[in-house]
Amino acid sequence: MYGSLDISVGGMVAQRMRMDVISANLANRDTVLDANGEPNPFRRKLAVLRQGDPMGSTPAARELGVHMGDLQEDPAPFRKVYDPTSPFARPEGDPDRGYVYYPNIDPVMEQINAVEAVRAYEANATAAEVTKTMMAQALRLLA
């Protein structure tokens, strides 16, 4: 039983971090400028989960848990909107002259991923509940 809760908690942490990335994507749906004020649209971020939790405090979690492996950027092309009067429109000589580049984020996809992350989080929370019940039953043997 020792280490069981660690696995579920690691799963909850990973799904929560994935949810953070989804929130960032939705929040930056129309971000055309980077932190320095340059026209450099926000690229969609992808949280990739990986088996095993190096931060786990027990061998069970390190071997059987899950963690957020890395944060990848979606290489898909930016969304283009024709707006030649915009100060951020592509300049003269560019094949996309007059177009403004917007982030490559589809809110529908983000919503779908959010629902999946929430359900996976719930599954881990339920599993943690089951572990707690089993622990209580094992403890009752001694009492």
Partner 1 sequence: MFIDQVISADSIPTLAAAAKFAAQRHKLLLSNIANITTPGYRTQDVSVKAFQNQLAEAVQRRRDEGPGARLELESTDEVRMGAGTASGMTLTPKPYGTNVLFHDRNDRDFERAMQNLTENAAAFRLATDLLKNRMSILEAAIRERS
Which residues in this chain contact partner 1 in the complex, by CB under 8 A?
Answer: 1-4, 7-8, 10-11, 14-15, 18, 48-51, 60, 64-66, 116-117, 119-120, 123-124, 126-127, 130-131, 133-134, 137-138, 140-141
Helix, strand, coil percent content, the chain, rounded in steps of 5 = 45, 15, 40
Q: How far is the CB of 11 from partner 1 (least distance, A)?
A: 3
What whole-number distance in Å separates Cα of residue 133 and Cα of residue 14? 23
The smaller minimum CB distance to partner 1, of residues 4 and 100, is found at: 4
Identity of the residue, 36 or 133, whose beta carbon is nearer to partner 1 in the bound complex: 133
Q: Do 10 and 56 touch, CB atoms closer than 8 A?
A: yes
Instruction: Give me the least distance between CB of 140 and partner 1, in Å please.
Output: 6
Distance, CA of 52 to CA of 55 (rounded, Å): 9
